[in-house]
Amino acid sequence: MTELLTRRRFATPVAQESVADDWHGRGYSCGLFVDPPGRQWLDFVHDCNELVTVVEGRLEMHVGDERFVMEPGDEVFIPKGALHSVINASDGVSKWLYGYD
């Protein structure tokens, strides 16, 4: 399932407007989360596809049986129905974009 992760999909520093334009062109929304150190979003399942891109910090992502550590500019595709979790793996705040189709 490593095709779920695209390293450096977006240039750094990541501009939210550029990601939003790209995602809107692909049929996705674009929202921003700002998470404190240690924040965990565990065991989610959606009835649509999702994209996640790191703007600042580092995220640990679990999608099904796969685990990724994401850096700014990386993008993960989460297929609809896939069990997934997002964890702020930074010592500080993480900022990340999410979008649904």
Contact 37, 92 (CB under 8 A): yes
Give the model confidence (pLDDT) of 2-57 as tens digits: 489 999 999 999 999 999 999 999 999 999 999 999 999 999 999 999 999 999 99
Instruction: Report the CATH number at residue 50.
Output: 2.60.120.10
pLDDT band, very low/low/confident/very high, at 58 (cuts 50, 70, 90):
very high
Residue 1 has pLDDT above 60, yes or no: no
Distances (CA, A) of 79 to 1, 18, 87, 101: 11, 22, 18, 10
Q: What is the pLDDT of residue 98?
A: 98
Residue 37: is the preceding peptide bond cis (ω within 30°)? Answer: no
* Domain with 67 in it: 2-100
Tally of domains within the chain: 1
Distance CA(12)–CA(9), nearest Å, equals 10
Q: What is the pLDDT of residue 28?
A: 98
